[in-house]
Structure 1
Amino acid sequence: MPVLVLAAGAGCAENSMVLKGQLQQLQQQQLATSRQNQELQGRAGTLDRDNQELEALLAQSRQRQQVLEDQLGLVREQLGGITTQLARVRQEKEATEQEAQALTASVRRQHGVSITPNNSLLQTLPAIRLPDVSVRPDGDVIRVELPATQLFQGETAEFRPEAARLITDVAAELLRTYPDQLIGVEGHTDSDPIRGGPWRNNQHLSIARALAVYEFLLAQTRFQAVQLFVVGHGGNHPVVSNATAEGKQRNRRVELVVYPERGR
């Protein structure tokens, strides 16, 4: 009996040592696995943060792209509007010039087929002498320049207080020298585009100013309607360069143009 007990005790001790070894291995494996899990969780957290940052950057990029697309659409819309406006201005300019040409041709047809030189008319040119008024021959006609700065208030067709005296004095001299001649009332501007106000372009402003002088001549002088006609040239016929402020001021004018044809 004692021998059997010793053998059984030895077997139990050996099994205990084996189990302890297995336990230690399992504990070590568990610790390694836990560390690996922690490392993987750390990597996953880093990837999540990276993904969140990338998603935020992507959202910002998409937002900037949308802003740029909106701005591009707005610029394209504005460009289309400007292109349409320029086309309309060109059409209005061409229409105004055609109307002026047709009006001039109509007046000339009414008073004669062609304008012929009138040397006696030009020979009387020195008789016209008025302060602040330029008088010059131009082919078969005589041009009397009335400066817009002495006629109108700013970029309007409203007379300045001194305009009536100037127009009246010039009209009296023209009636004295050329009482029966055909007179063109021709408006001119400089090359600067119109900014604000009721006028769409320089042609409209030049016509409005010429009409204002025309109506004054009919109402306040002895000129007859059959003697007068109105033309608006805009900035198409400068007398000097528009490169300087003085040149632009000279080009802003209303001309009373004496034609060799008789108006009455």
Structure 2
Amino acid sequence: MVSVIFLTGCSQNPYLAGGGTSVWQPPPATGGGITAVQAQVAELNRRVQLLDDNNRQLTTQLAQSEQQAQVYRDELNLVRKQLADTAQQYDAARIAASEAQNSARSFQASAQLRGGATIRANTNLNQLAGRLNLGNLQVQQDGEVIRVILPSDQLFAPGTAQLQPQSSTLLDPVAAQLRSVFPRQRIGIEGYTDNAPMYGGAASSAHQLTSAQTSAVLDLLTRRSGMPGQQLFIVSHGSNNPRGDNSTPTGRVANRRIELVIYPETF
């Protein structure tokens, strides 16, 4: 009797089902939560891919913009160079025109004898030249004109048209005597130099250098010394008409000069 009751009680075990013939299984998990996470991951991947595509597009556009900017810079540099070349050509043309005009004035002054201008006798001009007392400066008769030779090395810094401070000590007494002895005669300021190559500086040729030097002398004689502007004119000869041998230092010094040329014609 006891054994039967025990077996009957065991038949009420909650872990047995269907008369105690099978094992209990937990209920299966639902897939809704996993599906939502997978969707979020897929969305994030899509956004990362989109950002990566945008980044590649922006990088390409930036490279293209930099290339275009370099093209603009190159074009700007080319325009600047063309402007500089044009300005240099303009300066050269202006100097050439000034030289041609001054040469024409020089020839006109020499030819006025046939045009009815007021002229002093050449013998009188030579007599007046004898009154000049210019120390060690050379004073030479050259046909109808008188030439006063001024060494450029005593007037200008080497290779430039910049008057040195001591240049006034040379030009002031010359200007004073010209005003006194030749108050009405036309006077040409002629510039010469040697044939040395031009390196750097404001002048790129011998003609430009001598043109600038004669202009500086003209400015000093009119502004500082008070000579009439209509009495003076300038002529630039560059390295033409040398007085010395350019192959020697002494000859080159002699060729670097300013000549004040006194004409018999009056103004």
Q: Give the TM-score normalised by structure 1.
A: 0.59
Is there any run of 5+ residues in structure 1 with no aligned partner, and where?
Answer: 1-87
Which residues of 2 match residues 60-79 of structure 1 at below 5 A? none
Cα distance per residue 1:146-189 (max 9 Å; x no partner):
11111001111111111012111101111111111101011110
Q: Structure 1: how far apart are the matches of 2:222 and 2:96?
A: 29
CA distance in 2, matches of 1:167, 1:111: 30
Describe the SS at the equivalent of 1:208: helix
- In structure 1, the partner of 2:214 is 210
Shift of 1:204: 0.5
Deviation digits for residues 200-253 of structure 1, max 9, x if unmatched? Answer: 100010010000000011101231111010111001111222231111101101
The percent of aligned pairs where both chains have the same amino acid is 37
String of CA shifts for 1:87-141, please: whole Å, max 9, x gaps: x9xx979877644433423555789738976111012222212223111111100
Contact between 2:244 and 2:250, CA under 8 Å: does it hold in 1? no
In 2: Cα distance, 1:211 partner to 1:97 partner? 11
In the alignment, which of 248, 255, 258 is matched to residue 259 of structure 2?
Answer: 255
- Using the alignment, how far apart are the partners of 2:236 and 2:217 within structure 1? 12
Give the direction of change, closer, same or farther, for the CA distance of 1:262–1:190 in structure 2 (3 Å limit).
same
Out of 218, 223, 227, the position equivalent to 1:223 is 227
**Whole-Å separation in 2 of the counterparts to 1:205 and 1:178:** 28
| Cα distance change, pair 98–229 in 1 and its aligned pair in 2 (3 A) | closer
Name the structure 2 match of 1:105: 107
What TM-score results when the alignment is normalised by the length of structure 2?
0.58
For residues 192 and 234 of structure 1, the distance between their equivalents in structure 2, rounded to whole angstroms, comes to 11
**Equivalent-residue separation in structure 1 for 2:197 and 2:100 (angstroms):** 20
Contact 1:112 1:261 in 2 (8 A): no
Counterpart code for 2:183: P
Which of these two proteins has the greater Rg computed from alpha carbons? 2
Gap change, CA 1:114 and 1:255, over 3 Å in 2? farther
Q: Structure 2 CA distance, aligned partners of 1:152 and 1:225?
A: 22
Aligned to 1:18: none
1:235 maps to which residue?
239
Gaps of 5+ in 2: 1-88
Residue in 2 aligned with 1:198? 202
Counterpart pick for 1:120 among 103, 124, 148: 124
Structure 2 residue matching 1:203: 3-state secondary structure: helix
Distance in 2, matches of 1:217 and 1:187, equals 15
Q: Tell me which moved more, 194-203 or 111-120.
A: 111-120
Counterpart Cα distance in 2 of 1:135 and 1:168: 16
- Structure 1: distance between partners of 2:137 and 2:223: 22
Partner of 2:183: 179
Aligned CA distance change for structure 1 residues 175 and 94 (closer, same or farther; 3 Å): closer
Tell me if the contact between 2:109 and 2:263 (Cα under 8 Å) persists in the aligned partners: no
SS in 1 for 2:265: strand
CA 1:140 to 1:97, structure 2 compared with 1: closer, same or farther past 3 Å?
same
Q: Aligned residue pairs: how many?
A: 174
1: CA distance, partners of 2:112 / 2:130? 29
Cα–Cα, structure 1 residues 95 and 216, in superposed 2: closer, same or farther, change >3 Å? closer
Secondary structure of the 1:127 match is: coil
Alpha carbons 1:108, 1:114 under 8 Å: kept: no
Q: Structure 2 residue aligned with 1:146, among 145, 150, 175?
A: 150
